[in-house]
Amino acid sequence: MPRLPRLPDLLTTANLCCGVLSILLASQGQLTIACGLIFLAAFFDVLDGLAARAMGGGSELGKQLDSLADMVSFGVAPAFIAAISPTEALQLVTSLHRDHAPAFSPFGELFGQPFWASIVCSVVIAVASMWRLAKFNIDTRQSNGFLGLATPANALFWASLGFITWGIGMVEGPGSGELQNHLGMFAENPIQKLVLAIVLGLLMLSELPLPSLKFKHFRWKGNEVIYLLIIIGALLALLYGILAVPLILVLYLLSPLWGKLFPKPQ
């Protein structure tokens, strides 16, 4: 008799659906909704992990489903989004709504646009995500934490750029205008995005020890880094809105350094 899907498997399927819809909408220039769907996919990804633990642990099938869904939602979808600048997305939407106008290609019909850099950036994100997910599946050392940047964290960074460029989800915190301008100019430069995609790709495949947000217990001692990440992340979100995502990513990547301030429990 076929095995009926468990709740975690259904939540993983919802994650996958968000990723597929994100790719389809990004191809039509609907970059804002496409980016939002990656955040929604990450929400379902958290829920399926919580549901699996609540039901006594995940299954081997659920593990495979999770990796396949993550490859689409956090590997292919952000790769597709990173290849399209917000300006190109706006032109694509305009061309699709113009009567009898040829469809605008989001992949480099603009004169002077280093089209190759956008394509390579997209490929780097997808390939690094694939290798990261495959390594995670066979690495028994990552049960309590991560070695290397997790694919959802990388995907959320790329998804946040679309919101930031168009000023969606912003909060007027200290220096928010300058930060938005810098990130907006970054999002329009394919060469800079390619360089950062390579750096983040190397971090995903690295042995950098990074904390997960899984609690073995809820006491302060032993969870100092996790609690500080949650508290500071929440404060940054209140101060800056969507602008907090790149700031939280930097804070997270530096956590092995400031985490040394807290002695490990014996």
Q: Is the Cβ–Cβ distance between 241 and 170 less than 8 Å?
A: yes
Least Cα distance to 244 among 230, 264, 258, 257 occurs for 230
Question: Of the given ranges (14-28, 31-45, 92-106), which has the lowest mean pLDDT?
Answer: 92-106
pLDDT reported for residue 101: 47
Residue 37 has pLDDT above 90, yes or no: yes
Domain assignment present for residue 187? The answer is: yes
Q: How far apart are CA 212 and CA 214, in angstroms?
A: 6
| Residues linked to residue 241 through DSSP beta bridges, in sequence order | 170
Domain assignment present for residue 248? The answer is: no
Q: What is the pLDDT of residues 119-145, one digit of tens each?
A: 899 999 999 999 999 888 887 776 677
Q: How far apart are CA 186 and CA 191, in angstroms?
A: 9
Question: Of the given ranges (19-23, 124-128, 162-166), which has the lowest mean pLDDT?
Answer: 162-166
Domain assignment present for residue 152? The answer is: yes
Residue type at position 81: I
DSSP codes joined into one string, 33-67: HHHHHHHHHHHHHHHHHHHHHHTTS--HHHHHHHH
Question: Of the given ranges (92-96, 147-151, 156-160), which has the lowest mean pLDDT?
Answer: 92-96
pLDDT reported for residue 169: 76
Domain assignment present for residue 232? The answer is: no
Residue whose pair of structure tokens reads 């993983």 in the numeric block: 12
Neighbours of 136 (CB within 10 A): 18
pLDDT reported for residue 114: 65
pLDDT reported for residue 154: 94
Least Cα distance to 37 among 61, 16, 66, 67 occurs for 16
Read off the CATH number of the domain in which 59 is found.
Answer: 1.20.120
Domain span including residue 30: 7-209
Higher pLDDT pick, 81 / 84 = 81
| Residues linked to residue 210 through DSSP beta bridges, in sequence order | 146
| Residues linked to residue 146 through DSSP beta bridges, in sequence order | 210
Structure tokens at 207: 């042995």
pLDDT reported for residue 104: 45
Alpha-carbon distances, residue 75 vs 68, 155, 160, 186, 245 (angstroms): 10, 7, 15, 21, 18
CA atoms within a 13 Å half-sphere pointing along the CA-CB vector of 189: 10
pLDDT reported for residue 262: 67
Q: Is the Cβ–Cβ distance between 146 and 229 less than 8 Å?
A: no
pLDDT reported for residue 151: 93
Q: What is the pLDDT of residues 199-227, one digit of tens each?
A: 999 999 988 888 877 666 667 776 778 88
Domain assignment present for residue 227? The answer is: no
Looking at the structure of the chain, the number of domains it has is 1
Domain assignment present for residue 168? The answer is: yes
Question: Of the given ranges (19-28, 161-170, 225-234), which has the lowest mean pLDDT?
Answer: 161-170
Least Cα distance to 74 among 167, 143, 149, 142 occurs for 149
Q: How far apart are CA 255 and CA 233, in angstroms?
A: 12
Domain assignment present for residue 31? The answer is: yes
Domain assignment present for residue 68? The answer is: yes
> Taking the model in full, what pTM does it have?
0.83
Strands (E), the chain: 145-147, 209-211
Residue whose pair of structure tokens reads 């009567």 in the numeric block: 99
Q: For the chain, what is the mean pLDDT?
A: 81
φ/ψ bin of 227: left (φ > 0), alpha (ψ from -120 to 50), beta (otherwise): alpha
pLDDT reported for residue 148: 85
